[in-house]
Amino acid sequence: MLNIYNTLTRKKQPLTPIKPNEVSIYVCGMTVYDYCHVGHARVMVVFDVAVRYLRYLGFKVNYISNITDIDDKIIQRANENGEDFNELTNRFIQAMLEDSDALGVIRPDTQPRATKFIPEIIAMIQDLLDNKHAYITDSGDVCYSVKSFANYGNLSGKKIEELRAGERVNIDESKENSLDFVLWKMAKLNEPSWDSPWGTGRPGWHIECSAMSTVCLGNHFDIHGGGMDLQFPHHENEIAQSEGATEEKFVNIWMHNGFVRINDEKMSKSLGNFFTVREVLKKYQPEVLRYFILTSHYRSPLNYSDADLNAAKQALTRLYTALRNLDTDNKSCPDDSYKQRFTAVMDDDFNSPEVLAILFELSHSINKARTDDLPLATQLASELKRLGGIVGLLQADPEIYLQGIEQDSASIEQLIVDRKTARQQRNWAEADRIRDELQQQGIVLEDNPSSTTWRKI
RNA sequence: GGCUGAAUGGCAGAAUGGCUAUGCAGCGGUUUGCAAAACCGUCUAUGUCGGUUCAAUUCCGGCUUCAGCCUCCA
């Protein structure tokens, strides 16, 4: 039985889907005005693993992750670039898809864009006005009235009267309560805008997610996810909007992933301490980044450093080395204890660090078996690849992972032959010179009793 | 100021009321011409002060420190 930590109750609880055998899940995606950084990568990978595991368990999963393609920052950036905001967002949506594909993330079933759901957003705002949860300000904006929703603050554990709105931001005098947030914002001159019953404008950020999740998954669905920072106010506001508009329960389980940090500080655009996914992928294979993300439990902080990325790289090399030269063609494994433990730890709120520990124990068993029980080694290797696949790891050909594809393998093979000749002549100086030469090229040799193999450092 | 959450060995990072993961790094050995890889063995830890208990790193409370949220953020 899969147990998931629910932010709403601060406890792990069994997943009991609304429809038997089907799971509906919505995850807040990116605002597309720049490249993805490692923090975005974490969200993508964490929920990719969750969805992969749900599917492995046999659930029919409907996974929705939205794209915010209209907001202040997008308008600002488009103006700075002197381009239409659609050109900007299309470009960064493309970049985001490239990054997530590289990381081995299976694309969500639907990735709705806010600008494609304007009529649905308007309809939901109208429902909120009808239900007396929203009002029109002097400036013409439509705002949500926080005080109209009794459960406001339940998700984040905050109380309206304890929140110090305006402490770090100017209070908008036209709002009834400073915590009230905009549902529909009047357009300024030359801003992108859409017609609405309240005048031309654009939707606020929070209402987009309420409208799109409801349209895609219905009024009430199973899991809603996103980064910790969205807990308040974004997800709090979503609950207020959706439950205010539909008068039904919105979401059963709220999942929030922890931050990526640098030197114990949150990685973020505003602090300027971020690495984009594509920067990292210039130095490391994408699977190393994915592995690195899985070394920490999804709710824990994840500190980013070169040392940790290098450790992840070493660790992944060890796993692929265990798979090397073994037929992993889906052989069944006589020992199902690994699989059972895998399921047990994944059932415990997706405990990926424990999964990695199991993968290492498997690779250890493979290495031991490979000299005197090759059939067993092969079966264990199949199991390793199979279990790794459930979390999106170890699906590459080990030779390609370890050697890369950009290497000039012919010249390397020639040098290995030359070295073999030198060794047969007991010319150790020449043999070591060749090995050093390859080392300079980033190639390390491994002599086996019968042959010599090579891999990238 | 309010609200969350965290503190584990040299580093990363799980778990657990009594047996102490896993990876990287270190040390000794097997192997190797020498290495590398692999294997065998091995060292290092639960922030602090109390409480509950036969037994606490684990449960409870105080303290300290750190991070996040209360503006936009994954």
Q: Which residues pair with A22 in a beta bridge?
A: A60
- In angstroms, how far is B37 C1' from A119 CA? 62
Statement: residue A148 has pLDDT above 80: yes
Nucleotides of B under 7 A from a protein CB: 1-5, 11-15, 21-25, 32-40, 66-74
Query: A362: which 2 tokens?
Result: 């498997």
- In angstroms, how far is B38 C1' from A273 CA? 40
- Asked if residue A234 keeps its beta carbon closer than 7 A to nucleic acid strand B, the reply is yes
- Asked if residue A177 keeps its beta carbon closer than 7 A to nucleic acid strand B, the reply is no
DSSP state of A171: -
Q: Where are the beta strands (DSSP E) in A258-381?
A: 260-262, 265-266, 302-303
Statement: residue A93 has pLDDT above 90: yes
CA–CA distance, A103 with A41 (Å, rounded to integer): 8
Mean pLDDT of A348-354: 97
Report all structural domains of chain A as residue ranges with CATH numbers, in order of start.
3-257 (3.40.50.620), 265-396 (1.20.120.640), 405-456 (no CATH)
Q: What is the pLDDT of residues A206-261, one digit of tens each?
A: 999 999 999 999 999 999 999 999 999 999 999 999 999 999 999 999 999 999 99
CA atoms within 13 A on the CB side of A143: 20
Predicted ipTM of the assembly: 0.95
Mean pLDDT of A403-420: 89
Nucleotide nearest to A34 (CA to C1'): B73
- In angstroms, how far is B23 C1' from A320 CA? 14
- Asked if residue A276 keeps its beta carbon closer than 7 A to nucleic acid strand B, the reply is no
Query: What's the pLDDT band for A164 if we cut at 50, 70, 90?
Result: low
- In angstroms, how far is B8 C1' from A354 CA? 16
Looking at residue A189, its pLDDT comes to 87
Statement: residue A389 has pLDDT above 70: yes
Statement: residue A30 has pLDDT above 70: yes
DSSP state of A348: B
Nucleotide nearest to A352 (CA to C1'): B14
Query: What's the pLDDT band for A163 if we cut at 50, 70, 90?
Result: confident
Please tell me whether residue A246 adopts helix, strand or coil conformation. helix
Q: What is the pLDDT of residues A280-306, one digit of tens each?
A: 999 999 999 999 999 999 999 999 999
Statement: residue A166 has pLDDT above 80: no
CB–CB of A62/A108 below 8 Å? no
- Asked if residue A3 keeps its beta carbon closer than 7 A to nucleic acid strand B, the reply is no
Q: Rounded to the nearest 5 degrees, what angle is found at the Cα of A394, between the Cα atoms of A391 and A400?
A: 150
Looking at residue A160, its pLDDT comes to 84
Q: What is the pLDDT of residues A425-438, one digit of tens each?
A: 999 999 999 999 99
Nearest to A29 by CA among A181, A240, A257: A257
CA–CA distance, A317 with A453 (Å, rounded to integer): 14
